[in-house]
A and B are shown apart, each in its own frame.
Chain A
């Protein structure tokens, strides 16, 4: 526990390094599933789970018990019982992105299963079978597309082989539909009837099994309702916070409101004497915000008893090494830095200064400057952070609404000095992720508390805890210059990006920009420089990290330049894209200007870009490429004389390749639009003396139904493999709104949130 004696920047640097490593892992992960996942195995009853209270696992065990005969389990993603029950396992966490439905659809498509009869369950957390089990970076679909298709196709091939052997016919004389194998002579056998015979066959190499052509798809691309919707609408136990165990007690954990403060003293005896309180103790922690900070745990007989006792808790904090961050100071620091050249060159192409911005040499160009900024924001998942843990028989058993269970095992093992195999995590449904639950601080806290008591403990954060101890979307500032040639063509771009740092060397997580930042790769003269401000505030990925803020800046400034050039914004954007080309062929994370141009045209067409509107009403457009998705958005809104805003209509055009579930895909885009409106309109986390000043939804407002516009979503289903959609529809929304506000009023929005500029909802 020496960490506490390190200074704040060291501790925060360690935290931030962990988060960076995680993000690299998330974005770099390509699933090369271990061979073991493709060998036959016995099903979960024999997999050594100590206890299985979680409903899916419990039913998985029951199903195994029901059948005396062998399950056909050719791989870790599905099994078939002789009674015909087909069970599919979703390896990733369901955080609202619809992955449990999407994963099952991909398997079912290649398996030719009967979708309505399929059982779909949460897979156990087992890295040796599934690799990393988490959700982030819109990577779940692209990273698992091949392996899930193979899981279904291999199984189907084995079932056909078993049938062909039985009928003494060739494999190519058989075909499948709705979990039945048919022979060309009319005979048929159900998958269940073939399960025992198929189980005796060797599992073929997945690469040798033919996958379906797109035109053969019966399930993919259609509309499917979420597989757990019935449980959701009837209020069944699904989420982490719903976990109930025998003899369970309830905990809160109070940390220092200033990041990095340490408990010096607390009125523990008074708290212990309160009604309903079973125990109260200090945890020293290891100083890492990503794991366990110093704090006081109260254990009580109910959540409310714990919350009430928390109100009586008085803690004296040692804040000598705590954060002193102050938002007003940051604003001043940034504005000073913006007057100077950037400290570090990230990209420098062509000759931005000499040829473009040097007034003496300027002959045919005009240049423009602007200063943009955006605040820290919080994830505010509607299910507050929580976790249930039970330390028994040398095993730490955990029920967690995490986006990142695989890493939680490693973190708890290290923190509590337990062997990783002694940690069992039950993945629950997650009441909103948005990147917050890539961190496992609440899991570490619950496990550390459970290690001290002999019964299961559910830790619940209050909303106030949740807002005070997030890994925030980092704020940022951009001093921009752009230049046009005498044809009104964009020929130069200069961005001095002012961001924050934990270690004094590199940007904090979520605050990085790269050399291939749009529109850099498309211009002859482009420079990106960077300056850093030291911060002690934990920051991390939030839905569409980087892009959620940078798109506002870049796509608004592009519009400023289009206006300066007196050119139509759509035409200006298409001109920037130039000839259709994939900037790094084969790399899904590289811009394809052809796909970009197509979504821009589609958004303009569907959003009726060229239809005239009455005064005070206008449209705006923006494009952005992020997380492998090309998305353009047209917003139609009106602004009254006293800055009352009504967003009437939003049109989203996206190319993420093939669509898996049309209903889920549209929902992700619609949700991203609402999320974007929410975070641009009134959300801002401010800091004073290291403390977050907002504490609940009355001070940190989320969009409500009266302000939610109609959102229409259009996909171009190109021949590319499917990529993720949790994130890429969010970034273009904010600049599309700001550009529309300019078109309606002539006022350029260069700082967020809008409420600080006097805007209100109509």
Chain B
């Protein structure tokens, strides 16, 4: 048994081996299926969540590492009232998703980037997002959506 904070709530996890990757704890044990399995070896980024605000590949981080820490998943990105994060709104406005499978991971990486760099350059975006593969090729719109969200967030606390 262990506990960790997920999307602001303290969650106790029972009967799960501490070596289980966080990805599968989220998906199979907690029913948070927004975080996706793509490769299992931290190559594709579909499983990206934030651990204490830092983007991590949850397929390759064991539960033990996340124990007692704070995890944010795509399900926890909107605020308590359900208002979308500016990135989520920008993703809709730019019609970013094609198949959509990678987008939760993309958005979680982008959200971590904007916390660190509120007005990223194209190069900042490319660097921060290079761990996230989009098989459908939505990169151009992802870039544009990040810029849009960044400009909308300017001035917000």
Instruction: Select the stretch in A192-200, A696-704, A740-748 that faces chain B.
Output: A696-704
B6 at the interface (CB under 8 A from A): no
Question: Which A371-398 residues sit within 8 Å CB-CB of chain B?
Answer: 380-384
Candidates A233, A234, A664, A698; contact of B43 at CB < 8 Å: A698
Decide yes or no: A95 and B33 within 8 Å by CB, A696-B39, A697-B133 being known contacts: no
Please state if A234 and B101 are interface contacts (CB–CB under 8 Å). no
Interface string of B119-131 (1 = CB under 8 A from A): 0000001110110
Q: With A244-B33, A702-B135 known to touch, is A233 a contact of B88 (CB < 8 Å)? A: yes
Residues of B within 8 Å of A96, CB to CB, are 97-100, 136
User: Which of B100, B107, B140 is within 8 Å of A238, CB to CB?
Assistant: B100
Whether B137 and A704, one on each chain, are in contact in the complex, defined by CB atoms closer than 8 angstroms, is: no
A196 to B136, CA, bound (A): 44
Q: Is the CB of A250 within 8 A of B28?
A: yes
Contact A431 B101 (CB under 8 A): yes
Contact present for A241 and B136 (CB under 8 Å): no
Residues of A within 8 A of B41 (CB): 463, 696-698
A-B contacts at CB below 8 angstroms, number = 183
Q: How far is the CA of A697 from the CA of B103 in the complex (A)?
A: 18
Q: Which residues of B contact A225 (CB under 8 A)?
A: 92-93, 95
* Chain B residues numbered 11-39 whose CB sits less than 8 Å from any CB in chain A: 17, 20-21, 24, 27-29, 31-39
Residues of chain B lying within 8 A (CB to CB) of residue A559: none
Known: A96-B98, A431-B100, A432-B101. A703 touches B137 (CB 8 A): yes
Main secondary structure of the interface of B (DSSP, over half): loop
In the complex, what residues of B have CB within 8 A of residue A247's CB? none
Write the B132-148 contact mask toward A (1 if CB under 8 angstroms, else 0). 11111111111100000
Decide: A705 near B126, CB < 8 A? Known: A96-B136, A228-B100, A232-B103: yes
Q: How far is the CA of A671 from the CA of B43 in the complex (A)?
A: 20
* Nearest-CB residue, chain B, relative to A430: B99
Taking a contact as CB atoms under 8 Å apart, the answer to whether A229 and B91 are in contact is: yes
**Alpha-carbon gap, A670 to B138, bound state (A):** 7
Which B residues from 74 to 112 make CB contacts under 8 A with A?
74-75, 77-78, 84, 87-88, 91-93, 95-104, 107
A627 close to chain B: CB less than 8 A:
no
Out of B40, B99, B103, B139, name the residue touching A674 (CB < 8 Å).
B139
Interface-located stretch among A62-70, A321-329, A337-345, A706-714: A706-714
A595 at the interface (CB under 8 A from B): no
Q: With A223-B95, A234-B84, A703-B137 known to touch, is A302 a contact of B29 (CB < 8 Å)?
A: yes
Answer whether residue B50 sits at the interface, using C-beta atoms and an 8 A cutoff: no
A176 at the A/B interface (Cβ < 8 Å)?
Answer: no
Chain A contacts for B92, CB-based, 8 A: 225, 229-230, 233
A670 touches B34 (CB 8 A): no
Q: Is the CB of A303 within 8 A of B38?
A: no
Residue among A226, A232, A307 with max Cβ neighbours from chain B (10 Å): A232
Complex CA distance for A745 and B33, rounded to whole angstroms: 48
Q: Which residues of the partner chain A approach B126 to less than 8 Å between Cβ atoms?
A: 705-706
Chain B residues near A229: list those with CB within 8 A.
91-92, 95-97, 100
Q: Which residues of B34-89 are within 8 A (CB) of A?
A: 34-41, 43-44, 46, 73-75, 77-78, 84, 87-88
User: Residue B135 contacts which of A224, A381, A711 (CB distance < 8 angstroms)?
Assistant: A381
Q: Tell me the smallest distance from the CB of A631 to a CB of chain B, in Å.
A: 16
A236 at interface (Cβ–Cβ under 8 A)? yes
Contacts of A380 in B (CB 8 A): 135
| Beta-carbon contact of B137 and A673 below 8 Å | yes
| In the assembled complex, A667 has its CB within 8 A of some CB on chain B | yes
For the complex, is A462 an interface residue (Cβ under 8 Å from B)?
yes
B78 touches A697 (CB 8 A): no
Within the complex, the shortest CB–CB distance from A183 to chain B, in Å, comes to 37
Minimum CB–CB distance for B135 against chain A, Å: 4
A235 touches B28 (CB 8 A): no
Question: In the bound complex, what is the Cα–Cα distance between A307 and B84 (angstroms)?
Answer: 35
Partner of A432, one of B31, B39, B136: B136
Q: A460 at interface (Cβ–Cβ under 8 A)?
A: yes
- Known contacts being A235-B34, A303-B24, A463-B39, is A705 close to B130, with CB within 8 Å? yes
Kindly list chain B residues whose C-beta atoms are within 8 Å of the C-beta of A634. Answer: none
CA distance A430 to B142 in the complex (A): 20
User: How far apart are B130's CB and chain A's nearest CB, in angstroms?
Assistant: 5
Q: Looking at the complex, which one of B29, B40, B101, B140 makes contact with A670 (CB distance below 8 Å)?
A: B140
Task: Give complex CA distance A664, B141 in Å.
Answer: 12
In the bound complex, CA of A121 to CA of B123 (Å): 39
User: In the assembled complex, how far is the CB of residue B84 from the closest CB belonging to chain A, in whole angstroms?
Assistant: 7
Q: How far is the CA of A116 from the CA of B104 in the complex (A)?
A: 24
Given A233-B74, A234-B77, A667-B98, 14 more A-B residue pairs with CB atoms under 8 Å apart are: A229-B91, A233-B103, A234-B78, A241-B36, A242-B33, A244-B31, A302-B29, A303-B27, A304-B28, A380-B135, A384-B38, A675-B137, A704-B133, A705-B142
**What are 22 inter-chain pairs, A to B, with CB distance below 8 A?**
A226-B100, A230-B92, A233-B74, A233-B97, A234-B74, A234-B75, A235-B32, A235-B35, A235-B75, A237-B33, A241-B37, A275-B17, A302-B28, A303-B27, A381-B135, A431-B36, A463-B39, A673-B137, A675-B136, A697-B44, A705-B129, A705-B139
- Please list the 3 inter-chain residue pairs (A to B) with the smallest Cβ-Cβ separation, ordered nearest first: A235-B34, A674-B137, A96-B99
* Chain B interfacial positions (CB closer than 8 Å to A): 17, 20-21, 24, 27-29, 31-41, 43-44, 46, 73-75, 77-78, 84, 87-88, 91-93, 95-104, 107, 125-127, 129-130, 132-143
